[in-house]
Chains A and B, each alone.
Chain A
Amino acid sequence: MNASCLTTLFALLITQTTFAQIGRPFIHDPSTVAECEGKYYTFGTGGGGLISNDGWTWYGGGVRPGGGAAPDVLKIGDRYLVVYGATGGSPNHKGAILTMWNKTLDPKSPDFKYSEPVVVATSDGYEENDAIDPGIMLDPTTGRLWMTYGTYFGYTRLIELDPKTGKLKAGNKPVDVAIVCEASTLVYRDGWYYLLATHGSCCDGANSTYNVVVGRSKKITGPYLDNVGRSMLQGGGKMVVATRGGLIGPGHFGHIVLENGVEKMSIHYEADLAQGGRSVLGILPVVWKDGWPIAGEKFKEGTYEIESVRRGYALELAVDFTRMAVGPRGFGQPNNDPIKPAPAQQLADVQKNWPTGPIHLRIGDYMSRPHQQWTITDAPDSTGYLGGPYYKIVLAGTDRALAATADAEVITVPAFTGAPEQLWRIDQLTDGTYRIMPKTVPNSGKKLALVSSGDSTPTLAEFDYNSDNSKWNFRNH
């Protein structure tokens, strides 16, 4: 292999690598990512946890006492309820789950102090359950606090906790809701309770088969049925997220609702091949399809048509349309000339006629022309947001970059400078479409998104999930 080939191969490896998260995101059995005073926190097995200022770059520093395994965290009122398994799963399956409170997750805060942990569930080593892997949910319809727990050893169980004390609700008895699952948790949506749990094997690096499945029920106590009507008490479950690329063995689903239409899941991958096969934190969009949650995609770099969901038109430079040569027509006339492919219009064919300064944008019929194709890459910027980095969006083949303006419009500037108004956040929404937002709007503290104010007019405005004006698709033709 010559040097050129090696360079190409190296470049391919670099560009095709998809990191789950960056920094030092090494964790196993992460708690649902929780926000506290502008930072993000997740705790793992063994104690401690990860902290991130932006949700993309993670470092150690979280503090959770008690050791054990597989915690979960939920903010209730102005406090955080932290729940964890005391044993991390002992060979004799004797275990206990404890809850404790803290006013803050920031270990540097003067308010940082955990309450004394209290036991809310146990397994005696003989019963068909192992009291580890808790997941907690506050039912938005009733305000009642529920916890599921259990592992491969028998049943996943449901108990009710007191949301004021974090203790087991008086008189509550566990209900079996699934079998051979780990790391379960509940989600409520549109009249359904969803039980998400991890199947497969763990802790064997890239050989781990962990995957997250789901069943749903109209009642919190089940039965939780999958998409073919099979109960999770019979092993049923519809796939939510499985191995993708070098990110192997996802498990420990946690549900994060950022705002209407923007939901994420926190998970861990048993092995991230790009990071030496270590277990790492992962954050993916949650997409709801036909009433079922599935993992969306972390945005992939590439060259795309950016399609407005409003009408299906494409984002384009506001430049003169340049006609292409029209092929032979002569319908009905005999023509035995050889058929040759017609060349596509090239950037060089049209660029020379464009202005050299800022160029406005519009949305038009997609014609596969150079002024309609956008190359989107991770920006040379270390910051990000929950689950992703900021992106640089340039017209394909050029350095002409998409930028927000101080008057809340969107234009292109001749060259990408890395200015924050040229950095774009891309979130997959719960319906599978995308939201595109500048990191900042100059001289504005407003959080605005790219929207279609008319079929052909892009602008910046507040994001509205209920309007197709706020949604975009990326088409890779």
Chain B
Amino acid sequence: MANPRALDKRRKSIRNIRKITRTMELIATARFKKAMERAASATDYTRRITKLVGDLTRAGLEVSHPLLEQRDATNRAVLLVLTANRGLCGGYNGNVLRLSVQRKKELDELTGGRTVIEVSGKRGISGLKFRGIETGESFTQFDDQPKFEQVEAIANRYLEDFILGRIDRLDVAYTRFVSASRQEAVVETLLPLGKLDVAAAAQPTRGATAAAQSESAQQDIYEFVPSAASILEEVVPASFKVKLFKCFLDAAVSEQISRMVAMKSATENASDMIKMLSRTYNRARQSQITGQIMEVIGGVEALKS
């Protein structure tokens, strides 16, 4: 039987760990709620932008913009990988990294090895270093509440590079937030934008929007100041920026959820372990006591005879 004292020591340390994981779970829950609220308000902006695009296309405008056009040859590509600054969040970072390594290979084939990986998050930086993949620019300033200004600065740089032809394609690997119980690592192509999603605007998401939709369908004649083409010129970069921002927000929300789930199971495992250790400890203690009693009885018997 194991040493009861050692068992007790181990049980105590696991109890401490459980306390820590429990706290981390609570913190992640609080942060998740905050991040979720931010994501919801960003959705409002996206919805309005898509509605604006819908109104523009209904006005019979030909949607064409350099950012929307597919390039004939992809000579240079950038893959932006969004990971967390901190670990202890289950498979969150690993999943994104695995996908991005795979995509990097595909892009390398397409571009002949001229693909630059840019990473956000310390975990991603160290993970790619470990895999022996060279990275270009890296960012660590994004926490659980990414600021639009920070994202915009990056977005502007990509836009400039794309328009000047320094890059032909921009992919983003991040964890998409589907629902509170489902997040998946995905790689999306953000530049060229392809089509502006007018279809999404046509789908009424809620009752209120449905009403607004039917209203705008009735009177969809607008005055465009200065002209529809000029507005389109501005809409396309704006919708790219907000798309990129949404990626960052989704990544932040998913990170908190993953951490919450990971810490929850860690707490549960710790509880199970404590239970098992307690059982072994009690048994060991009991057998020790029995042994001691036997010794005492044996001594008494020896004295009697």
Do A and B actually bind?
no
Binding site for A on B (CB under 8 A): none
